[in-house]
Amino acid sequence: MYQQTAKLISYGNIPKDCILYRMGDIFRRLDEGKYEKAELTAEVYHEIHRLLALATDYGFDGNLWQNYLTFLLMMDENPFSLTCEKVGANEGSVNAFARNDFRAVMELFHYDFSGIEKALDTDVFSIITDYQAVAKKERMYNHNVSEKVQALSKKLATAKDEDEFFHHVTTFYRDYGVGMFGLNKAFRISDDAGEVVFHPINNMEVVKLSDIVGYELQKEKLVENTEAFVNGKKANNCLLYGDSGTGKSTSIKAIVNEYYDRGLRMIEVYKHQFKDISSIIARIKNRNYRFIIYMDDLSFEEFEIEYKFLKAVIEGGVETKPDNVLIYATSNRRHLIKENWSDRNDMENNGGIHRSDTVEEKLSLVNRFGCQINYSKPNQKEYFRIVLELAHKNHIDLTDDELRSEANKWELRHNGMSGRSAQQLINHLMG
């Protein structure tokens, strides 16, 4: 095994503390006879434990070893894989190095573990290469990644030579990309000693626009803007504003689910992270995806100045915002920044300071969103329609009149008429 890992060129930067390299070191010591049986067995079990933990996180099944090697190929961002992400497998000298690597990986795919099992009196490798995973709910693992890893793994396992292996891997890169941006829909960020770190959101809510009852004009406008964006045409930053519980955030999640397979990704950013937006854009501007930077419940009190970072990034900074990045925000306020009555007086009583400039300053942020969509609370007729459709979809055994009666009582006792109230009522009735 260590002979194969030593041959890697394009994929030579795979972390040396990963399971593959640790296993390679174990096999090298086994071949050289430089080991204590109990000690080497313990090391093998430790790496098997790491493999099982990874398999649990991503829902791997069947041949866990081949799933793991496939996962490494999917995640490794190197010059070859990144080029394939953008233009596919074009002709070039780098392909010779890639084929060399794929020959080595093919050997690892079909590695004979019987020797080490006999030497250490264990059958762990036989188990992991024919593994029957415990059935789990989708929310317990990254279902999206699991499907892709297992589908590609099965193709690679049946590849007859490195050319077919090459074709399967590069086709995957072209269709889905490479690394965490290729496998995941949405991300959060954190700050690690001044460095922006991306974290995949493994279990994003599976919702579609068709699940949102009503708001047809709003959804149409959102789809129109997003459709232009994913097609590489000009599109606007988008602000969804209006009453709470009307489906603003759900609409954006649904948009990401609908357009994921066309290269749309979402990065969720909180108010205290606005200072990092320039760093985020620098990391994603050259990738072959369309990114929505998502800001939920966007609003600012008078003393908060984070909106100045946002203004500079959206429009007004020296560096042009790349074409593959848009900002989508939701807010209960249309004007985003709190205004006072004193802002409306053109002159302050004691100093002659112009207040109209203050108003312009506060409106200048919202004016940077070229697509503004209003989500208002439903009237009673619309509210009843939402409740009835949700009830029928969830097979609740009540008549329409009984549902209207329950809906009336619910909105009076809770948060008024909204899509959120309707969903909460349905959850209550299902419970």
Q: What is the pLDDT of residues 338-353, one digit of tens each?
A: 555 455 555 455 444 4
Last residue of a domain, one of 148, 182, 216: 182
User: Token digits for 252?
Assistant: 């954006």
354 in the same domain as 320: yes
34 exposed, middle or buried (CB, 10 Å; 0-12, 13-18, 19+)? Answer: exposed
Q: Is the pLDDT of residue 392 over 50?
A: yes
190: in domain = no
Q: What local confidence, expressed as pLDDT, does residue 63 receive?
A: 93
The CATH number of residue 338's host domain is 3.40.50.300
Q: Sorting pLDDT into bands at 50, 70 and 90, what band is 358? A: very low
Q: What local confidence, expressed as pLDDT, does residue 352 receive?
A: 46
Domain that holds residue 29: 2-182
275 in the same domain as 297: yes
Q: What local confidence, expressed as pLDDT, does residue 346 receive?
A: 52
Q: Is the pLDDT of residue 366 over 80?
A: no
128 in the same domain as 249: no
Last residue of a domain, one of 375, 394, 419: 375
Give the residue-averaged pLDDT of 405-428. Answer: 83
191: in domain = no
249 in the same domain as 312: yes
Q: Are 209 and 251 in contact (CB under 8 A)?
A: yes
Angle 239-244-249 from CA coordinates, rounded to 5°: 50
Q: What is the pLDDT of residues 167-179, one digit of tens each?
A: 999 999 888 888 8
282 in the same domain as 158: no
CA atoms of 314 and 317, how far apart (whole Å): 8
The model's pTM:
0.77
371: in domain = yes
What is the average pLDDT value for the chain, to the nearest integer? 83
Give the residue-averaged pLDDT of 396-422. Answer: 83
193: in domain = no
The string of DSSP codes covering 390-415 is HHHHTT----HHHHHHHHHHHHHHTT
Q: What is the pLDDT of residues 23-79, one digit of tens each?
A: 999 999 998 888 899 999 999 999 999 999 999 888 888 999 999 999 999 999 998
**How many domains does the chain divide into?**
3
Give the residue-averaged pLDDT of 403-424. Answer: 83
Q: How many CB atoms lie within 10 A of CB 310?
A: 22
385 in the same domain as 363: no
